[in-house]
Amino acid sequence: MTTEVILKIAISGVLTGLVYGLMALGLSVIFGVVRVVNFAHGEMMTIAMYLVIVLFSALGLDPLIMLVPISAVLFALGYLMQRAIINPFINRPEHSQFMLLVAVAIVMVNGLLLIFGPDSQGITTAYSFDSFDLGGVIIDAGKVYAAIAALLVAVALFAFFRLTLTGKAIRACADNYHGALVVGLNVKQLYALTFGIGAACVGAAGTMLMIVTDVTPAIGPAYTLLAFVIVITGGLGSMPGAIVGGILIGLTEALGGFFFTPSAKTMFSFAILVLVLLFRPQGIMGRKTA
Amino acid sequence: MASKTRISRRTFTAGMGAAGIVAGTAPFNIISAQGAPLKVGVLLPRSGAQAGIGQDCQRGVDITAGILKDLNLPSLQIMNGDTETNVEVARARAERLINEGAQLLIGAFDSGQSTAIAQVAEQRGIPYVINIAAAPPITEQGYKFVFRNFPTAPTILSNAFENQIEIFKATGNAPKTAVFMHVNDTFGAAMQKGFTGIMGKYPETPYKVLETIAYDGTARDLSVEVAKAKATNAEALVMVSRLNDAILITRELIKQRWSPKAILSMGPGWYEDQYLKTLGKLGDGPMSFVPWYDPNKKLSKALETALAKAHPGLNMNTNHVYTFEALLIAADAYKRAGSADPKALADAIRATNIKDNVSPGPGIQFDAKGQNAALKNSAIQNRGGKLVTIAPASASNAKPQHPMTPYDKR
């Protein structure tokens, strides 16, 4: 095997991992603040992916242009979901929350099936079949654009949480729920905002993923599981952990598939998960809980 | 003030299992009737990874009623079941359809699912006609109620090698090396197992296989697999795949700037309408060695006409043909049995001798194992968004084009 091929595989894994990381970032943000596990995460992403299909078919818009509007639509969806459905369950037992979101996921999968049918659907952009040749290392152009966009969204999100008052208020809620209430923060409003931001992340990730892959309604649960694997590996509630976890999983699957057997490449990401749970249960960048 | 519910990491991790519930949910189970006496349970993967193909098989069901009427055969009451591309669901749905009154089962496109249904059918004593499933063991169990009008993996492979030899002789240009990629499911594994052994029986095969690569058919990204195949520098790509992975692999071939001289597919995917529609001119060139239909047979033309009327612009394919023939077998047996009694139906199916059919070969008969061993495969090639039959010469309507036009020259 030549160095160029191995390098190509590694770069491809990192690029894919960045988009996965953005998807998982949404899950991590929601869990880190609202403490609700979004079992409809992958399904929400498939909604974003189908929005890309619809807008691409109707208006011929490039996914890179659709990034902001689709993220906004998903933000609205997440915000409304939190206000209307999830808020009443905030103080209920965890299993009630799990079942609620599993039910929401089922509704989403079947709704998409009813509307779009079971066939795999994709888009072909002007650069869908393009690649860059960097001294014999061939890199998929679509993956490069998707990864750069994912990175920019992640940086914008970090900046939002670090630099804006609303971001700081959301972090305050995450750090000390009662303290946030005492100082007069509108926690319910901030929770809805957070869920909306998490949903906007999956909206952005779904839009970017459409550049590199197809979508079927049935793919949602697989993405949900992938997001869980990434956030547990990176560290629950840790935003940088989600990105690091995404890159690690993407890279592991790519190299594992190349050096061993491609049919078992997802096995390697689960092996990483098991190792993390055994030796660093809080995740690579997670904080230890008392 | 109510205390805030906290979720521990342990609870979170334990809850991951709940995601599996979503993955295994049954989206549809529609039961419809066409008002005919024999109740036929049609089990297909209507959702899940094989949903597209299951729906395509359903098109074969939808156009059957009119043709059966023209053939003066009894009509059938169709009871639809969704296997969800899942072996255990297939088993449960077969049980349910029988409980709901199905007198005969057909389906289920996939070998794993068909194996599970065969076990149920045999146990319950209900005839089961497999439309599409190639794993040999299904008809090697000594079952009395299970019949298959579809070639086994070894037959598909033998015919594929015979047709390839014929094609490469005709074109005077043959690849010397190949890489073999196959989906790692029941069908793909059976095909892989048979490939090497059967290849040895055809010493005129022009190429040698440099590497075999198994991949996950539900994978979202096949760039690693294609990079690994490209690294072998093989001249031809031999494929056993499904639809979605065939599209993904083609995209990767283009993006990774690899144009094999030939793509030789021994399974579904590469000839399907969605493949042609999605890839346009980039979908031209692959040859598929598949159970097909004889374009010169009278019933083939009737089926093509019915499909064109119901789905204008759709190419007729394996899914339509063999699903239709499974129903044809059911109606023919029902007519001869004169009863819906399961044993009488099974006996009638065993005595089937349909000459006026669609698939290549002498017609539909079953051997003692319940297998139609007389079926012949064809070689087809994608040309300008259409499919032409290029081998065997006796059932072809075009000459092969080889080597394939490179992707960057289209």
**DSSP letter string over A40-105?**
THHHHHHHHHHHHHHHHHHH---HHHHHHHHHHHHHHHHHHHIIIIIGGGTTS-HHHHHHHHHHHH
pLDDT at B10 (0 to 100): 54
Cα distance between residue B111 and residue B149, in whole Å: 13
With CB atoms and an 8 Å threshold, state whether B274 touches A263: no
- What range does the domain containing A114 cover? 3-279
Residue B18, pLDDT > 50, answer: no
Contacts of B218 (CB under 8 A, 6+ apart): A222, B49
Residue A38 lies in a domain: yes
Cα distance between residue B35 and residue A229, in whole Å: 50
Q: Which two tokens stand for residue B62?
A: 């939808």
Q: Is A287 on the interface with B (CB under 8 A)?
A: no
pLDDT at B13 (0 to 100): 52
Does residue A214 contact residue A142 with C-beta atoms inside 8 Å? no
Q: Where would I find the beta strands (DSSP E) of B190-327? A: 208-215, 236-240, 262-265, 287-290
* CATH number (domain holding residue A9): 1.10.3470
Cα distance between residue B259 and residue B4, in whole Å: 60
**Percent of chain B, pLDDT > 70?**
91
Question: What is the rounded average pLDDT for all residues in chain B?
Answer: 89
Residue A123 lies in a domain: yes
Encode pLDDT of A249-290 as tens digits.
Answer: 999 999 988 888 887 888 888 999 999 999 999 999 887 765
With CB atoms and an 8 Å threshold, state whether B227 touches A5: yes
CA distance readout (Å), A108 to A44, A79, A136: 8, 16, 43
Backbone angles phi, psi at B63, to 5 degrees: -95, 5
Average pLDDT over residues A225-247: 92
For chain B, the domains span 38-151+296-350, 154-292+378-409
Residue A61 lies in a domain: yes
Does residue B104 contact residue B128 with C-beta atoms inside 8 Å? yes
Residue B364 three-state SS? strand
Which of chain B's residues have a Cβ under 8 Å away from the Cβ of A118? Answer: 46-48, 51-52, 54-55
Encode pLDDT of A9-34 as tens digits.
Answer: 999 999 999 999 999 999 999 988 88
The model's pTM:
0.76
CA distance readout (Å), B196 to B180, B210, B312: 10, 12, 40
pLDDT at B196 (0 to 100): 83
Average pLDDT over residues B325-332: 98
The amino acid that residue B161 corresponds to is: F
Distance between B96 CA and the closest CA of chain A, angstroms: 21
Instruction: Find the closest chain A residue to B254 by CA distance.
Output: A129
The band of B33, judged by pLDDT with boundaries at 50, 70 and 90, is very low
Which of chain B's residues have a Cβ under 8 Å away from the Cβ of A117? Answer: 55
Residue A165 lies in a domain: yes
pLDDT at B51 (0 to 100): 82
CA angle A203, A209, A212 (to 5 degrees): 160
Q: How many domains does chain A have?
A: 1
Distance between B231 CA and the closest CA of chain A, angstroms: 7
Contacts of B374 (CB under 8 A, 6+ apart): B361, B362, B363, B365
Encode pLDDT of B284-316 as tens digits.
Answer: 999 999 999 999 899 999 999 999 999 998 889
Residue A290 lies in a domain: no
Place of tokens 């007519």: B335
Cα distance between residue B45 and residue B40, in whole Å: 16
Distance between B67 CA and the closest CA of chain A, angstroms: 27
User: Which fold would CATH assign to domain B38-151+296-350?
Assistant: Rossmann fold (3.40.50)
CA distance readout (Å), B301 to B67, B295, B399: 11, 7, 21
Residue B379, pLDDT > 90, answer: yes
With CB atoms and an 8 Å threshold, state whether B216 touches A263: yes
Which of chain B's residues have a Cβ under 8 Å away from the Cβ of A36? Answer: 7
Encode pLDDT of A129-169 as tens digits.
Answer: 999 998 889 999 999 999 999 999 999 999 999 999 999 99
Whether ipTM tops 0.95, in short, is no
Query: What number does CATH give the domain B154-292+378-409?
Result: 3.40.50.2300
Residue A37 lies in a domain: yes
Radius of gyration of chain A (CA): 19
The band of B9, judged by pLDDT with boundaries at 50, 70 and 90, is low
Cα distance between residue B216 and residue A268, in whole Å: 13
Of A3-7, B103-107, B211-215, B405-409, the one with minimum mean pLDDT is A3-7
Average pLDDT over residues A37-61: 95
- How many residues does the structure list for chain A? 290
pLDDT at A121 (0 to 100): 87
pLDDT at B393 (0 to 100): 86
**Percent of chain A, pLDDT > 90?**
67
Distance between B179 CA and the closest CA of chain A, angstroms: 14
Residue B71, pLDDT > 50, answer: yes
Cα distance between residue A24 and residue B345, in whole Å: 55
Average pLDDT over residues B75-81: 95
Residue B216, pLDDT > 90, answer: no
The band of A1, judged by pLDDT with boundaries at 50, 70 and 90, is low
